Amino acid sequence: MKPPEEKPVEEPKPEPEKPKEEKPEVNIEAEVKKQMDEKVKELLQKANEKRKQNKEDNLKRLLDFAKEKKVITNDDVRDSLHVSQSTATNYLSELVKRESVLREGTRGGTKYSA
């Protein structure tokens, strides 16, 4: 009887390398900047809407005040709305432009009537 032939031990064959899935390279900084820009844009839009609403509310209060008092001045507007001289002037000019009040006089002694 012959001894059984020894078969050489086969080494396991390495699995063929799978091609790596190519993931699109994401630039984290660019993505963060994009998200920040979108958030800032959204916040600015909300702030602008709020400012516009506040201005409209103040103009309505000013018009009611002018109707009640009949004749008002820039000083009256500043005192009643607690705004600066330039803001009071801008508000009064806006109401004149909308033809809600009439301007009487120029410079210094300007009066406005509803």
Q: What is the CATH number of the domain that holds 45?
A: 1.10.10.10
pLDDT per residue as tens digits for the range 38-94: 999 999 999 999 999 999 999 999 999 999 999 999 999 999 999 999 999 999 999
Question: CA dist 49 to 45, 56, 98, Å?
Answer: 6, 11, 20
Number of domains in the chain: 1
Q: Note whether residue 1 is domain-resident.
A: no
Look at the alpha carbons of 92, 93, 99, 104 in this order and tell me if their dihedral is positive or negative. Answer: positive
Residue 51's domain comprises 34-113
Residue 101 CA: distances (Å) to CA of 52, 60, 62, 80, 110: 20, 12, 10, 17, 12
Does the predicted model carry a pTM greater than 0.85? no
